[in-house]
Chains A and B, each alone.
Chain A
Amino acid sequence: MQGFGVAILTQVIWAQLLLLGWARASELTFELPDNAKQCFYEDIIVGTKCTLEFQVVTGGHYDVDCRLDDPDGNVLYKEMKKQYDSFTFTASKNGSYKFCFSNEFSTFTHKTVYFDFQVGEDPPLFPNENRVSALTQMESACVSIHEALKSVIDYQTRFRLREAQGRSRAEDLNTRVAFWSIGEAIILLVVSIGQVVLLRSFFSDKKTTTTRVGS
């Protein structure tokens, strides 16, 4: 009884998702420690067009391994040490798709990875809109402006990520220069004083040995 109810519930959920042509766009930025692998899963309906886009924001050589599997475990996309890529596919079966980012080849650099996983088309502004009816000119102008602005926002995001890369490198360089200059000053002083002390020690204790006087 309980099992049957759960089975119906599952079917209802899938049916509802199918009816609505569920659309999602998930974009996340997360940190991937060295030798780590992080996987994300998403339940997708058959026939939905999906896009996975990722970019490495900070860390090392800005590369990461990415892998996308379908519910049966077949590899749909696999790239090693990629800095940025965009992959579009149409789901061929219902189920849970898995994509993983791996930093296992790196020994000590943490990477920050941004990804954007778009499932299906954007939800319409009016859920009960009759898509068959023609839009007025104003409305179709609005729609085209909306699409153009969406691509502007997209480009802005990509630009922001590239700029974050450059900025983190610059800040890294700044701190490294600071540490290195202080460190080198200390080393210089230590080495020079050490040289003098060592040289003095060659001459100070040897009372028995004859001192050679250069003439």
Chain B
Amino acid sequence: MDGWFFDSVLLGCVVSLHQKVPFHFGKGSLVKMVALKMQLLLTFPLLTVMCSLCSALYFHIGETEKKCFIEEIPDETMVIGNYRTQLYDKQREEYLPATPGLGMFVEVKDPDDKVILSRQYGSEGRFTFTSHTPGEHQICLHSNSSKFALFAGGMLRVHLDIQVGEHATDYAEIAAKDKLTELQLRVRQLIEQVEQIQKEQNYQRYREERFRQTSESTNQRVLWWSIIQTLILVAIGFWQMRHLKSFFEAKKLV
């Protein structure tokens, strides 16, 4: 997302609000106004960083709970995940904006259950990985409950945003880096989209082959099993009769 644009808009908002502020303060409150302005200005970089999650989807997670999300992706696809955590403050009965010392443990497993990313991040972080095998990747998050007292029966609010493939590219950055005109940037976006569609279709071919193999294997197994079962039944029948016959002959009943 375009950080400079955000900053300029935010500055515009705060400056316009700041104009109204002197009406609320009385004389001799210049120090207070400056302090307020400093406080608001200091939040600019923070907001720009957090802005990508300002209105992201969020959910609640318990202390030892592990939340897993599945991403079925083709190979060589980049996945970027942003998350932000907030802890519920019982005294103020609201969620604190940021809690230091609260970390989240992120673990990413590839389709063969091999761990490709296993790291601990702070209360706010960003993780990236690129898939090398196509299939279902599992992204799991759980909090490191070292600060037991912090939770005390509360829930943790986690803002999460996972962008896959083409959605993960930052076009403004590409435009600035390669100095592209508007038309060139649009065409670049189309190229990326088409590449993603191609990758997905390749992946679909691979999945269809796996599906076909599974069906063939089931077919084979059912076929072999019915033959073997018939043979087992017949053989057991013979064995039973033979064994009982010899048994009864031994007992002089027959």
In the complex, what distance in Å separates the CA atom of A164 from the CA atom of B71? 12
Instruction: Given A29-B70, A127-B2, A149-B193, answer yes or no on A16-B13 (Cβ-Cβ < 8 Å).
Output: yes
Give the residues in chain B near A1, CB-CB below 8 Å: 32, 35-36
Residues of A within 8 A of B197 (CB): 149, 152-153, 156
Which residues of chain B are within 8 angstroms of A213 by Cβ–Cβ distance? 253
Q: Which among B2, B72, B253 is the interface contact of A211 at CB below 8 angstroms?
A: B253
B229 touches A185 (CB 8 A): yes
Query: Chain A interface residue count: which class?
Result: 35 or more
B40–A13 contact, CB under 8 A?
no
Tell me the complex Cα distance, A35–B64, Å. 19
DSSP class of A's interface residues: helix, strand, loop or mixed?
helix
Taking a contact as CB atoms closer than 8 A, the residue among B167, B210, B222 that contacts A167 in the complex is: B210
Q: Which chain A residues lie closer than 8 Å to B59 at the CB level? A: 38-41
* Residues in A whose Cβ lies below 8 Å from that of B17: 8, 11-12
CB distance from B79 to the nearest CB of A (A): 12
Q: How many Å lie between the Cα of A181 and that of B69 in the bound state?
A: 34
A44: chain B residues within 8 A (beta carbon): 55
Residue A189 CB within 8 A of the other chain: yes
Task: Decide if A75 is an interface residue (CB 8 Å cutoff).
Answer: no
Comparing A17-25, A62-70, A79-87, the segment that makes contact with chain B is A17-25
Q: Does A163 contact B (CB under 8 A)?
A: yes
Contacts of B251 in A (CB 8 A): 203, 211
B172 interface residue per 8 A CB criterion: yes
Q: How far is the CA of A138 from the CA of B184 in the complex (A)?
A: 10
CA of A1 to CA of B33 in the docked complex: distance in angstroms?
A: 10
Please tell me if B10 contacts chain A, counting CB pairs below 8 Å. yes
B150 at the interface (CB under 8 A from A): no
Task: Fill in one digit per residue for A125-161: 1 if any B CB lies within 8 Å of its CB, else 0.
Answer: 1111100000010110011011001101100100110
**B171 neighbours in A (Cβ, 8 Å):** 125
B34 at the interface (CB under 8 A from A): no
- Whether B43 sits at the interface, judged by CB under 8 Å, is yes
Binds A, one of B100-108, B111-119, B236-244: B236-244
Query: Judging by beta carbons under 8 Å apart, are A156 and B200 in contact?
Result: yes
Interfacial chain B residues near A102, Cβ < 8 Å: none
Asked whether B214 lies within 8 Å of A164 as measured between CB atoms, the reply is: no
Measured between beta carbons, the chain A residues less than 8 angstroms from B10 are: 12, 16
Decide if A167 touches B214 in the complex (CB within 8 Å). Answer: yes
A56 interface hit (Cβ, 8 Å): no
Question: Does A89 sit at the interface, judged by CB under 8 A?
Answer: no
Contacting pair B13 A15 (CB below 8 A):
yes
With the chains together, A211 CA to B167 CA distance in Å? 87
**Contact, CB under 8 Å: B57 / A17:** no
The answer on a CB contact under 8 Å between A192 and B57 is: no
Choose one: A11, A160, A192; the contact of B200 (CB below 8 Å): A160
Q: Are the CB atoms of A196 and B243 closer together than 8 Å?
A: yes
**Inter-chain contact B55/A125, CB cutoff 8 Å:** no
Contact residue among B40, B68, B172 (Cβ-Cβ distance under 8 Å from A127): B172
Within 8 Å of chain A (Cβ to Cβ): is B90?
no
Nearest Cβ on chain A to B217's Cβ, whole angstroms: 6
Give the contacting residue for B232; candidates A149, A164, A185; CB below 8 A: A185
- Residues on A with C-beta less than 8 A from B5 are 127-128
* Residue from the list A13, A17, A164, A170 in contact with B218, Cβ < 8 A: A170
A-B contact pairs, 19 of them (CB 8 A): A13-B54, A16-B6, A26-B161, A29-B72, A30-B68, A30-B69, A31-B70, A42-B56, A128-B5, A142-B183, A145-B190, A153-B166, A163-B207, A163-B211, A181-B221, A181-B229, A184-B229, A188-B229, A188-B236
Closest 3 CB pairs of A and B: A142-B186, A181-B225, A26-B57
